[in-house]
Amino acid sequence: METNKIKYTLKKYLLIVRNFYNKKREKDKKYENLRINSIDVLRGIAVIMALFLINQGLEDSINTNHVVSTWNGMNFADVILPIFILVMGMSIPFYVKKNYENGDKVLEIVKKIMIRSILIFIIGLVYSALFVDARGIVRLTGGYQLIAVVYVICALLYISFLKIRIKNNALTYVFLVFGTIISIIFTAIAFGGKGIESNAFVVFDNMVIGDFLSASKADPEGILATLSSLSLGMYGLSLGCIINKKKIENKKYINYIRISKIKQNGFSKENLIHDIKSWINIRSIKAILSNYYRLNDELKKIVNMFLLGILLHVLSLIIGIWIPLNRNVFSITFVLRISSYVYFIMTVLYVVCDIVNIKHVVKFIQRIGENAILIIFTVSLVHKLIGLIKIKSIYTGTWLNFNNWFTTDFILPVTGIDTASAFYAAVITIIWIIIFNILEKYDIKINI
């Protein structure tokens, strides 16, 4: 009797999930024109980077650059999750827009956001249980869980601002300010202790979730780190608002004539000061900003992304004099630096993928980006299963996991110990990219 009840409950919830997914898939096809290609491509790049780290050939000889930093610093492995968070933030305005245009009410959109975040959180728990070393039975925190929490908070905040009729153009700067404030607050909390053991983030995580953390001393996705990473979600939202900017109608233009004394009377200190003042004054700046809107709408987006990227990068260099880059606590220096990189990358990708629209060049990567969660989970599972296969190495005479055996016997003698693991990972990653692109042709995919 009890078994039948459990089966009935499982079938009921599986049916709910299946119906939710089928409706989502139909809606995605209907509003495919609202997808921003550059966002999918950037997500695809992040997935490929993740696959490269998952498929390392020699677990004991992985390049230190391919492992998350123990404390301060920024390695290749440190940038992957932050890119996913920024991409997630960028996607929110378009997710809300798609559902709104479909006629969904605000409460319905909120409900879908909650369901989506819960699904991602559950996937994160399963992923942690299967693939991530924890101090206890299962790791409660992790990359997926972090994204789920940041996603629901950022999405609800975005909807709240739209509800009180704050324009999308203004939200660009609202979220930049919010993200900066959050990052400053948590950076101040994080660096109250000088080392890892005395750090507030580590102490808090040990006290609250203890054995259910990652095996590392400083959990890079702990509770306070999750809240600190909200700043990246906000910066991603800001970038999404730039891309989603609407055309400004009936904008008044200000004319301002700047007289150049240097041209008229030659170079002198007085003439130079006069010319500088003719450019740097309130009316001149208003005129520059006013005439800026004469530019093409798409060009304005590119200019905005590029200039904000420069601003964030310069700030990260200045603040970096006092506060180190730290992925484990998402320090303000780290948040500004990685955000500036993404702003620059998106400037280029938006031109290539959405304005010029070079489909054939980026389609392989875009397909990966549209199906990120399934791909990472599947590859992690296959890598784990292949690792169960033991083969005796001719090179060492010991029994090794398949990836260690293949790398040791066939790659290491050619490349050497320093690059053998990465070479194997690169080859396997390319194979997976080809496989998933073939599956895409047959419409075999599950996206959340």
Burial of 20 (0-12, 13-18, 19+ CB in 10 A): middle
Provide the residue count of the chain. 448
What is the sign of the dihedral through the CA atoms of 336, 337, 340 and 345? negative
User: 420, 58 in Cβ contact below 8 A?
Assistant: yes
- How far apart, in whole angstroms, are the C-alpha atoms of residue 272 and residue 280? 12
244: DSSP letter: T
Q: How many Å apart are CA 290 and CA 245, to the nearest integer? A: 17
Q: pLDDT tens per residue, the chain (448 residues)?
A: 556 666 667 777 677 666 666 666 665 555 566 678 899 999 999 999 999 999 888 877 787 888 888 888 898 989 999 999 999 999 999 998 888 777 778 888 899 899 889 989 999 888 888 877 666 667 788 889 999 999 999 999 999 998 887 777 789 999 999 999 999 999 999 886 667 777 888 888 888 887 777 777 777 788 899 999 999 999 999 999 999 877 666 666 677 777 888 888 888 888 888 888 888 888 777 777 666 655 667 888 898 899 999 999 999 999 999 999 999 899 999 999 999 999 999 999 998 888 887 776 678 888 888 888 888 888 988 988 888 888 888 877 888 888 888 888 888 888 888 888 999 999 999 999 888 888 777 666 656 5
The tokens for 422 are: 């990465």
pLDDT at 357: 77
C-alpha span between 231 and 86 (Å, rounded): 9
d(Cα 161, Cα 36) in Å, to the nearest integer? 22
Distance CA 384, CA 48 (A): 18
pLDDT (0 to 100) of residue 32 = 60
Q: What pLDDT was estimated at residue 11? A: 73
Residues 6+ apart with CB under 8 A from 431: none
Residue 316, H or E segment? helix 297-319
Q: Are 188 and 205 in contact (CB under 8 A)?
A: no
Determine the pLDDT at residue 26.
Answer: 62
Amino acid code (one letter) for 91:
S
Give the other-Cβ count within 10 Å of 180's Cβ.
18
Residue 207 is encoded by which pair of tokens?
A: 């006290």
State the Cα angle at 279 between 276 and 280, rounded to 5°: 80
Contacts of 225 (CB under 8 A, 6+ apart): 141, 146, 201, 219, 328, 329, 330
Instruction: Report the alpha-carbon distance of residue 342 to residue 42 in Å, rounded.
Output: 9
Quick check: 177 and 238 in contact, CB under 8 A?
no
Q: Cα dihedral sign for 43, 48, 54, 59?
A: negative
CA distance 326 to 261: 50
The number of beta carbons lying within 10 Å of the beta carbon of residue 293 is 13
What's phi and psi for 260, nearest 5 deg?
A: -95, 110
Beta bridge partners of 391: 400
Is 206 in contact with 218 (CB distance < 8 Å)? Answer: no
Among residues 310, 340, 331, 338, which one has the least CA distance to residue 80? 338
Strand partners, 134: 214
- pLDDT given at position 350: 92
- Region of 445 on the Ramachandran plot (φ > 0 left; ψ -120 to 50 alpha; else beta): beta
Task: Specify the residue for token string 């194997």.
Answer: 424
| Torsions phi, psi for 400 (to 5 deg) | -125, 155
What are the C-alpha distances in Å from 103 to residues 86, 91, 100?
27, 19, 5
3-state helix, strand, coil in the chain (%, to 5): 70, 0, 25
